[in-house]
Amino acid sequence: MPRHHLFSSNGAVGGIFLILLLATSDAATYTCPSVDAPTIITEATPLGQPTSIAIGSTTTKSSLCTLTRRQSSTGARRVPVARSYAGREWEKSAGLFARSGSGLVVDCSGGAAACELTLPSLKEDQEYVLESFSHDVTPEVEAARFLEQADIKLYRDAASNEQRGDRKCVFHHIHFLIVSRFSEQRAKGQIECVFHHRHFFTATFGPTRESINDLVTNYSNNFASWIHTQMYETPASYHREFLRRNTHPKFEYPYLTAAVGPRPCEQYSRWRKYAITSRDLMDDRKTLRQKHLTIEQKEGVNGYLWMVDGTFRTVTKDHPTFIDGSLVELNVRYRIDEMKRSFLVNCVGCNVDLKGVNETQYTIANPPVSIEGVEGNVDVLPYSTVALPPFGSNEFPAVEKASEDFPLFTAWMKDDENAMLNSDSLESSTQCDGFPSFRQPEAVAVEYDDAPQSILPTVFGRSLNPDTGVEEIFAYDPHLFLYENTPDKPLADGGGQLVLDTYNPLQPGKQVICHNVHRAYDNEDGCQLSYLDTACSPGAEPQETIVLDRTNLEGINALTGRNLYAVTGLTIDEEFDVEEGEPVNNVLHMDSALTIEGCNSWSRGSSTKDRNTEKFWCDRLGTQHLPSSIIFSPPRAQLSIVHKLRMYTSNTSPYSDPASFILEGRAKPDAEWEVIGSGDFDLPLDRNARGLPIESTYGSGDVNHTYTEVSLSNNTKVYWDYKLTIPSTRDPTKQNLQFAEVELPGLLLPYFPISHSCSAGTHSSRWKKEVDAETCPNTANLCEGTYKLFSDLISDKRDIYNPTIRTVTRQFRECDSIDMYKLDLGMVQASDGTCWKHVHDLEHAIFDLAGADLANYNLTGSVAQVSNAFVDGILNDPAHPIIGSLDDHSAIDSSSNSPLDQQDVQDAFMTLEFNPSREAVLICGSPGEVATNPLASDHSFDITVPQKDGTRTMSIWELSAQRHTVWAHMAMHADDQLRQRQSWALSQIIAVGLPGSGMVFYEANEPYPAFYDQYVRNGFGSYRKLLKDMSFNLIMSEWLTFLSNKSLQSNINNGLYSPPDENYGELI
């Protein structure tokens, strides 16, 4: 059947079009000839018409069939026309005939074994020739070709989507869908390659011999199986994890960045044979604050001591010389000069550059470690020598042997000069007892620009070399060690203990920062609560405090000569002038609370104190032999002294009148009842009508009503609550008890001179923890609202932590009205179940009692037993200031109280705290924050510290080179090659600027690998998830400027008419 092809409308092409209309399917058929046996296409003649032929495709992977136009006379001037190779269909060859309008048509859509080609007409002395070539494709070559373009193919269905304008398949999901489609269709033999996506074609690092051999040997070039394994079975290789596992350099300044690793006697500690290390070459690059080497001689030592900033490194028998042969001057400080490759000094005999007077350059050979003739001289070598296992054994191998699986940088290590303690056998020994802290270096700098502010002491060890039989001397070689803090396994305290361990008194605040990170979508599943006292919150720094406990108070007194004592024995009772009491007809307030006992039922209880003759009724059926009682609890406004008891008769039968009484009082809700008076009642038989008002005075009852009065004039005690008990009635057989009114004439004392904790306004109260309390009764009968109010206040976190004393302030919430005048609030249970007792506002306050009369208090250790009157006498006296409260954790930075502000006191008693109250702290880890591998090479990745701190270890360019090394290593050696290529492709689509472009991570080494890991993590995932990860990333927020972005309304509210930054939204 005819084939229809449309071209441009010029005359030549139009002629071709007319002829093609006449073409039929009976075109001549050719097959690829044998090698070295070319076939001429005889149907195509010079000056003839376009020719249609059918040619079969190649059949093997090793064959190539070409159609070429050439000179028929010489065979020269060859022009490629079309080709078929490796069993693929025919296609146009690159060059002249691939151009639009060339007249060449290749049609393989018929589904037949051969493709139909329409060949343009020939000129004079031209011919088409069909030739075959063969090349044996080895499995290695086939694997290499595949690995060079793995994950870069698109297929027919993707092409159709492209033509329909469905760009999602090509761009949004190309790296997720195409590979899986390849895996599925490849197994079915249905792969049809249509075109290459140019970007993904470049997303390849090239195969290595190892990857080629792996594909050939383990997969037999089954590409679908390899892809499936890469996608679903091979673990992802993360850049940040690789960087951290191999970050294990020599390190002497742990308080700035991380922690020194194992101590001398701990497993995985490192040891060296050379005296000077790469860490001695540290350069600030601004202040030139470097270490100095001095050669000295000391009396009693036969040799020359090598001292680095005052610490002993080695001893040599002969006078040291520079490499030019000149002698080193004794007692002269030579500055150890920086070298571009500082690790090149880490060997015996390696050159070390020095600067002398006037910056004169010298070079000296790095000597071996020796302690010959020095042991026993505590001025030079103050620490004992560690007995190490035999060198070269499994317990103490050479580092290069221990790090065979981690070969990074081992090429620069000299054999048998670095060792690792690969045993915990020394951890239980006492060899390392008394060694200094290797996490808190001692100060050695005299001037800021003179030397590092601190330096680690040198510890030595000896080991027998079984190969040579010689005892060898090693120096402990501290290395940096990073801790694991991943989302699945966060540090138990968020790294708080590490912060405390690395605190540097020379530079407070420059210690290791808290590892705890904020909860986020990528770590929240592994977050956990920590109740450790070292648990730190994200970004928190330890607080410098002095704990004012009994032991520290005694120590402070001994150091300063002061008399700091915590006072105790104070009560919340108050003394009043009875003479100022006001005589009243009834000390019972009409709002007094009632508690009625001994009645089966009762009615009109308020009638007992309502100032009229309405009767009170109590049912005593079956309990006539038991007493009935009424407790009156007036509001806590005023105390009182009762002088009389009056009772008015009711309107009912006199046989229900009380026949006897017991009146008791108590001064506090939790106090025992005290009997005020008791006796018989002889109420008149006359009755009072119900509901009539009573008008009485202190001296006399209402003469218009019937009543009985009992004198209690001997009572002089002050009470709050009163309890009236009726043991019997006039007729004991009667079931009812009835009377009209009770009056307690007496003195109503003045209002309290101090505010109550529950009175209106802002008031404070102090509470003491009842440590041994098994129960916590509501002894003050606080109402529910009041009880919860103080429970909440006690439970709230305090600015100054104190485990036994809480001073709380009530500002906005009010007590229940019935509790407003209660002075003693009894006991309250906090939310954590602990019990707290209301105490005097100055109970356990720490006073300086210097100069106070010893007769006024009794001492027990650092606690003084005192009276209220004594404290009232010294309160507000400048000679006796209040320092704090017993067991206060007083912050140094906020304490101006002497002697806590004295430097000697702070040096002696200062401690660091994060969470002394052991409250719950949310602990979360960070993706990729793995621990250093203790077997990592001695010359592994390094870190940098901010230049302004004066202990910089490398430049930002050296730091950047480490990140490049990580990327290159992963590209060449990672097992998940397909994922790494996907990640590289994604990094070119969603990109950020390089470090050093003004971003916040200018001097950091982990944020960028962690950022790149998002590409790795989402290599076979969802593009939406990748965008989410990028949107939450700090580096991206800096790069596309949406960090701390604010809406227009938010800016207007802050006085700025500025629209939000839409940079990220536009580009994403």
Low-confidence stretches of the chain (pLDDT < 70) are 1-26, 112, 150-205, 252-260, 282-289, 339-341, 400-413, 415, 437-456, 504-511, 573-578, 635-637, 669-670, 751-755, 821, 894-896, 938-939, 944-958, 994-1003
**Nearest partner of 633 among 600, 594, 605, judged by Cα:** 594
Predicted pLDDT at 1056: 83
CB contact at 8 A, 633 and 593 = yes
| CA–CA separation, 400 and 414 (whole Å) | 9
428-448 confidence digits (pLDDT tens): 888 888 787 665 555 444 444
The torsion defined by the Cα of 480, 435, 374 and 371, in degrees rounded to 10, comes to -30
Q: What are phi and psi of 741, to 5 degrees?
A: -155, 150
Predicted pLDDT at 508: 60
| CA–CA separation, 257 and 722 (whole Å) | 69
What is the Cα gyration radius of the chain? 48
CA–CA distances in Å: residue 797 to residues 668, 767, 800, 826, 833: 30, 14, 9, 21, 15
Structure tokens at 218: 């383990």
Structure tokens at 139: 């499995």
Structure tokens at 317: 């028998």
Alpha helices in 418-538 (DSSP H): 496-501
Chain Cα centroid distance, residue 865: 46
Give the helix/strand (H/E) hosting 1053. Answer: helix 1048-1053
Chain Cα centroid distance, residue 78: 70
| CA–CA separation, 877 and 855 (whole Å) | 18
Structure tokens at 899: 């002697």
Alpha helices in 940-1020 (DSSP H): 956-973, 977-989, 1007-1017
Predicted pLDDT at 58: 86
User: DSSP code of 997?
Assistant: S
Q: What are phi and psi of 1062, to 5 degrees?
A: -105, 15
Predicted pLDDT at 637: 58
**Nearest partner of 100 among 30, 24, 13, judged by Cα:** 13
Predicted pLDDT at 323: 95
Predicted pLDDT at 179: 35
1013-1028 confidence digits (pLDDT tens): 999 999 999 999 999 9
| CA–CA separation, 118 and 24 (whole Å) | 11
**Nearest partner of 442 among 457, 460, 432, judged by Cα:** 457
Q: Which residues of 1000-1028 are buried (b: 16+ CB within 10 A; e: fewer)?
A: ebebbbbbbbbbbbbbbbbbbeebeebee
Structure tokens at 447: 């001037």
| CA–CA separation, 370 and 167 (whole Å) | 72
Predicted pLDDT at 1011: 92
Predicted pLDDT at 509: 59
Chain Cα centroid distance, residue 1044: 21
Kind of pairing between the strands at 858-860 and 845-848: unpaired
Kind of pairing between the strands at 39-40 and 564-568: unpaired
